[in-house]
C-alpha cells in the first residue's frame, strides 16, 4: 500500500452518524483514453454499519478498483461515495483515520521487523508511544505472530504476510475494514484462522468489514450480505437466501420428493397437475420436480388430496458457488 502522512489529530475526527458505513452512488471508474474500460460502472452499494459484506466477481470485475476508490487511492471518474460518513474525494484523510486496509498484494518495509513496521504505521496515526507499544504486542498476538515480532517481514511466508497485513490494518482501531482477498494464497488452516479473526473483530468490536474473495465457501461462511460484480456492473446483492430467490425467479425451483401410501406414478400425476410445475422425472424412487416458482405447500396439498403422504421433500441445494455461476452466466 502507498504510504501516507496524516496531519490531523485523531481526536479531531468526529464520526458522522450516517446510516451506512459505506455508500456509493453511481460510482464509476474509466481507464484509458482510446480503448476505454469501464472498470467500475455505475455502482450503487449500501453497506450497513456492523455488516460483514462480501464483494465477489471474476478476475477483472472491478473489485480492487472499487476498494481503491473507497479508500482514496483512486479518484472516481463519475459518481460519489461515502465511507464512515466521509466523502471519498473530499475527506480522504478522515477516511484513512477511521478505516483499515489489507491490500492485495500487501506491501511492507521488508527490511524492517514486524514491530518496526507497525511502529512506523502507528506513528503516521500519532498514536502515543506507550499505547502504541502495547497495541503492537496485542495485535501481533491476535494474529498469532508473537514469535515473529522481531523478525523482518521480508522473510514472512504468504500466510504470515496476510496475518501481518491484518495487524497493520488494525493499528488505528478502525471502524471500517477493507480486506482485498484476505485469504488468497494461504493454506486451509491459515484461511480458517483469518476467517475466525474477521468474525471475531466484527462480533466483539462491531467493525464493519468489506472484503473481496474468490472463495465462495468463505464468503458464504462469514458474510451477512454479498454483492456480485462482473465487468464493472453490479449483478446482484443480498444475503445468500436473497441470492437464492433471485436465481429461483430466473431459473425456477428444483424439488426432490418421496412418498408413502401412494404409487409414485400416481403422486407424479397429482404433482403434474399443480399450476407452475414445468417438468417431472422419476429416478430410483425419487420424483424430481422442476417448478416455475416456490410451490412447496401446493405440491404437498396435491399429494395429500390424492391420498398420499410426502415422506421426503427437499429443494436441490444451491450453495453460493452454484448461485454465483448462475448469476454471472452469460455476462
Ligand atoms: N491502473 C489501471 N489502468 C488501466 N486499467 C486498469 C487499472 N487498474 C485496473 N484496470 C482494469 O480494470 C479492470 C478491473 O480491475 P480490478 O483490478 O479492479 O479487478 P478485480 O475485480 O480486483 O480482479 P481480481 O479478482 O483479478 O483481483 C480490469 O480490466 C483491469 O485490467
Ligand atoms: Mg483485485
For residue 302, the domain's CATH number is 3.30.70.100
| CB 103 less than 6 A from any atom of ligand 1 | no
CA distance 52 to 210: 6
Closest ligand relative to 179 C-alpha: 2
206 and 265 part of one domain: no
Q: What is the largest CA-CA distance in the chain?
A: 78
Residue 79 pLDDT > 80: yes
Q: What is the number of structural domains in the chain?
A: 2
Sign (positive or negative) of CA dihedral 137, 139, 144, 148:
negative
The label of the residue with cell 459484506 reads 53
Residue 211 pLDDT > 80: yes
From ligand 2's centre to the CA of 261, what distance in Å?
56
Q: Note whether residue 4 is domain-resident.
A: no
From ligand 1's centre to the CA of 190, what distance in Å?
27
Buried/exposed code over 120-137 (b: 16+ C-beta within 10 A; e: otherwise): ebbeebebeeeebeebbe
Of ligand 1's atoms, which has the minimum distance to the CA of residue 232?
14
Closest ligand relative to 60 C-alpha: 1
From ligand 2's centre to the CA of 110, what distance in Å?
22
Neighbours of 25 (CB within 10 A): 14
What range does the domain containing 108 cover? 10-238
Residue 217 pLDDT? 95
| CB 74 less than 6 A from any atom of ligand 1 | no
% of the chain beyond a pLDDT of 90: 91
From ligand 1's centre to the CA of 86, what distance in Å?
25
The label of the residue with cell 466523502 reads 87
Q: Note whether residue 115 is domain-resident.
A: yes
185 and 45 part of one domain: yes
Q: Note whether residue 324 is domain-resident.
A: yes
CA distance 118 to 133: 9
For residue 178, the domain's CATH number is 3.40.50.300
Distances (CA, A) of 272 to 30, 201, 247, 291: 51, 50, 23, 10
Residue 10 pLDDT > 60: no
Q: Note whether residue 5 is domain-resident.
A: no
Q: Note whether residue 2 is domain-resident.
A: no
CA distance 4 to 15: 21
Last residue of a domain, one of 195, 217, 238: 238
Band (5; pLDDT cuts 50, 70, 90): very low
Last residue of a domain, one of 238, 271, 288: 238
| CB 68 less than 6 A from any atom of ligand 1 | no
From ligand 1's centre to the CA of 69, what distance in Å?
12
256 and 121 part of one domain: no
| CB 61 less than 6 A from any atom of ligand 1 | yes
289 and 176 part of one domain: no
Residue 268 pLDDT > 60: yes
Nearest CA to ligand 1 atom 2: 31
223 and 256 part of one domain: no
Amino acid at each position: 500500500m502507498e504510504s501516507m502522512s496524516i496531519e490531523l489529530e485523531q481526536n479531531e475526527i468526529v464520526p458522522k452518524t450516517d446510516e451506512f458505513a459505506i455508500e456509493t452512488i453511481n460510482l464509476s471508474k474509466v481507464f484509458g483514453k482510446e480503448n476505454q474500460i469501464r472498470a467500475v460502472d455505475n455502482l450503487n452499494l449500501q453497506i450497513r454499519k456492523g455488516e460483514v459484506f462480501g464483494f465477489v466477481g471474476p478476475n477483472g470485475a472491478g473489485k480492487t478498483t472499487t476498494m481503491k476508490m473507497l479508500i482514496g487511492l483512486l479518484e472516481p471518474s463519475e459518481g460519489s461515495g461515502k465511507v464512515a460518513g466521509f466523502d471519498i474525494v473530499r475527506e480522504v484523510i478522515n477516511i484513512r483515520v477511521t478505516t483499515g486496509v489489507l491490500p492485495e498484494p500487501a506491501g511492507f518495509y521488508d527490511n524492517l521487523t514486524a514491530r518496526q513496521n507497525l511502529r512506523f504505521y502507528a506513528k503516521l496515526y500519532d498514536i502515543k508511544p506507550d499505547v502504541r507499544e502495547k497495541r503492537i504486542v496485542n495485535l501481533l498476538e491476535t494474529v498469532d505472530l508473537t514469535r515473529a515480532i522481531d523478525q523482518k517481514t521480508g522473510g514472512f511466508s504468504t500466510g504470515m504476510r496476510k496475518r501481518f497485513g491484518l495487524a497493520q490494518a488494525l493499528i488505528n482501531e478502525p471502524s471500517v475494514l477493507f480486506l482485498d482477498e484476505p485469504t488468497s494464497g494461504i493454506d486451509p488452516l491459515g484461511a480458517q484462522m483469518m476467517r475466525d479473526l474477521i468474525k471475531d473483530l466484527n462480533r466483539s468490536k462491531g467493525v464493519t468489514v468489506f472484503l473481496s474473495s474468490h472463495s465462495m465457501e468463505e464468503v458464504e461462511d462469514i458474510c451477512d450480505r454479498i454483492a456480485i460484480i462482473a465487468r464493472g456492473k453490479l449483478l446482484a446483492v443480498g444475503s445468500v437466501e436473497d441470492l437464492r430467490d433471485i436465481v429461483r425467479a430466473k431459473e425456477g425451483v428444483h424439488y426432490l420428493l418421496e412418498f408413502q401410501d401412494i404409487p409414485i406414478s400416481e403422486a407424479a400425476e397429482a404433482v403434474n397437475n399443480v399450476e407452475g410445475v414445468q417438468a417431472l422425472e422419476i429416478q430410483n424412487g425419487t420424483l424430481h420436480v422442476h417448478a416455475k416458482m416456490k410451490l412447496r405447500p401446493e405440491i404437498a396439498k396435491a399429494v395429500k388430496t390424492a391420498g398420499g403422504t410426502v415422506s421426503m421433500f427437499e429443494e436441490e441445494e444451491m450453495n453460493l458457488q452454484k448461485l454465483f455461476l448462475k448469476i454471472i452466466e452469460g455476462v
